[in-house]
Amino acid sequence: MPKETAVAETLTDLATPQIDEACLAEIDRDQLLSPSVSTHPPRILILYGSLRARSFSRLSAEEAGRILTRLGAEVRIFNPSGLPLVDDGVDATHPKVRELRDLVTWCEGMVWSSPERHGTMTGLMKTQVDWIPLSEGAVRPTQGKTLAVMQVSGGSQSFNAVNQMRLLGRWMRMLTIPNQSSVPKAFLEFDEAGRMKPSACYDRIVDVMEELVKFTLLTRDRAGYLVDRYSERKESAAQLSARVNQRAI
């Protein structure tokens, strides 16, 4: 008996009465494929997740910053020392909170570098992200921006922290690049001066930073269009602001 061949089904009912026709538009190929191209260096913000004097997440972040600079990016690294806890009686007027938020507004891409502690990213890493608002008015400061994730471990190689940061980046509506860095036994990878030794781990960080710059250049001029959503076009600005701010929570 011959094997049965699967037959593709063809939809016969193509009506979409649920759609608000005024809010659905055809894909604008000019905005997507031929936007006005910016010429300034890619703006990359780096966050790291430990305040130890010899912080390997910070040292990794600094190596990433050097590589990004070699690749033509403009780099700023946020020092989280002095950043208060979220909801601890401090608001967005705090100088460190304002500095962080201004940097997030400035940047076009980000690098998050965290240690893995107790099988997860550190509280300091999460605190920095928690201080970044999901929305200011009806605008999300992080949406459409690129993200690279990195972690360091004191023991064997793990991907718990980078996996969590990927989830967090998606929640912040960022474009998290496919590549990532995980450095095991980080205490062996750096010399006394705090510079990373030549190794496959260092090479991977170079790979990740190359990819981040490429994705940033590819998406920054079309980021607004890439994350423009039908459901949000249906809402008024006031409705959208009320929903995403969720002040009652």
pLDDT tens per residue, range 113-168: 999 999 999 999 999 999 998 766 556 789 999 999 999 998 888 899 999 999 99
Does 205 have pLDDT greater than 50?
yes
Residue 186 forms part of a structural domain: yes
Residue 159 forms part of a structural domain: yes
The DSSP string of the chain is: -PPPPP-----S----TTS-GGG-----HHHHHSPPPP-SPPEEEEEE----TT-HHHHHHHHHHHHHHHTT-EEEE---TTPPPTTSS--TTSHHHHHHHHHHHH-SEEEEEEEEETTEE-HHHHHHHHHS-S-BTTB-TTTT-EEEEEEE-SSS---HHHHHHHHHHHHTT-EE-S--EEESSGGGSB-TTSPBPSSHHHHHHHHHHHHHHHHHHHHTTTHHHHT--HHHHHS-HHHHHHHHH-TT-
* pLDDT at 110 (0 to 100): 98
* pLDDT at 244 (0 to 100): 62
- Of residues 248 and 90, the one with the higher pLDDT is 90
Does 232 have pLDDT greater than 90?
no
Range of the domain at 88: 38-222
* pLDDT at 73 (0 to 100): 98
Average model confidence (pLDDT) across the chain = 90
Mean pLDDT for 61-71 is 98
pLDDT band at 240; cut points 50, 70, 90: low
Residue 170 forms part of a structural domain: yes
* pLDDT at 209 (0 to 100): 98
Residue 93 forms part of a structural domain: yes
Residue 140 forms part of a structural domain: yes
Pairs from 30-39 (Cβ < 8 Å, separation ≥ 24): 31/222, 31/225, 32/222, 32/225, 32/226, 35/221, 35/222, 35/225, 36/221, 37/221, 38/220, 38/221
β-pairing, 43-48 vs 109-117, is parallel
pLDDT band at 102; cut points 50, 70, 90: very high
Write the CATH number for 94.
3.40.50.360
Does 248 have pLDDT greater than 50?
no
Does 3 have pLDDT greater than 70?
no
d(CA 49, CA 58): 7
Q: How many CA atoms lie within 13 A of 177 on its CB side?
A: 27
Residue 8 forms part of a structural domain: no
Residue 15 forms part of a structural domain: no
Does 211 have pLDDT greater than 50?
yes
Does 222 have pLDDT greater than 70?
yes
State how many domains the chain has: 1
User: Could you tell me if 184 and 156 are in contact, meaning their C-beta atoms sit under 8 angstroms apart?
Assistant: yes
| Among 103-112, 141-150, 153-162, 182-191, the least confident range | 153-162
What lies within 8 Å, CB to CB, of 138 at 6+ separation is: 237, 240, 241, 244
Residue 13 forms part of a structural domain: no
pLDDT band at 43; cut points 50, 70, 90: very high
pTM of the predicted protein model:
0.87
| Among 15-24, 42-51, 70-79, 211-220, the least confident range | 15-24
Mean pLDDT for 16-21 is 92
Does 238 have pLDDT greater than 60?
no
